Amino acid sequence: MTLYVLVGPSGAGKTTLQKMFEQYGASGVTSSTTRTMREGEIDGKDYHFLSNEEFDAKILAGDFLEHVQFGGNRYGVDEASVISALVKGKNNVAVIVTEIEGFLEIKEYVKNNDYPFDVKGIFIDAPKDVLIERLHKRGGMSEETIASRVALLDQELANKKYFEGEDDIILSHPHLVVMDVCAKGQVLGELIRPSSHEYPTL
């Protein structure tokens, strides 16, 4: 069983890559959050929506592999959700998108505990100018929000250094990310058949 953790700067295509994983049979991990449920979201599918008290209880019980606070809300990945996704996923493969802190916490937690699955990180790299262009084209964000994300790009790109281990992968061709995955021969196993020529693009 393998959990792939996707990390990269804003605009790199993390969510798109996660959808590619799921398209080929991997199961997405449902995270927990204390933020308010938005219109159209489904509890247990988009997130496990928890109160602060419920979130605290899960921390005390040691349920979370990682948890962070972001934008005034709390987010966490619990063991039960990961195991559930691994059992459901084709070839027992699951995938999740996190920030760099989440990836490092999950990897350390699993390393120090007796878990029946491997954790492999994928860092999506891209030129800074391409990322800035994508952020402006994405829509739904104010100029202030875009500026704040652009300001973090150098720091986010520098996180590539954490993915130089033999179990982790750096994808450097964001426009042909799945083709690059296949070429490395380390990701997805039979989820993507090497003979297939129908490579989705970002």
Domains of the chain with bracketed CATH: 2-185 (3.40.50.300)
Give pLDDT tens digits for 165-183: 777 888 775 544 454 554 4
**Is-catalytic flag, 38?**
yes
Q: Calculate the average pLDDT of the chain.
A: 79
Nearest-angstrom CA–CA distance, 25 and 141: 31
Nearest-angstrom CA–CA distance, 87 and 186: 20
Active-site residue identified among 38, 74, 134, 193? 38
- If pLDDT is split at 50, 70 and 90, which confidence band does 194 have? very low
Using alpha carbons, select from 196, 175, 174, 194 the residue that is nearest to residue 184: 194
118 against 193, higher pLDDT: 118
Active-site residue identified among 74, 134, 149, 193? 149
| ∠ CA 148-151-157, rounded to 5° | 125
**Is-catalytic flag, 74?**
no
**Is-catalytic flag, 134?**
no
Task: Tell me the pairing of strands 32-33 and 73-78.
Answer: antiparallel
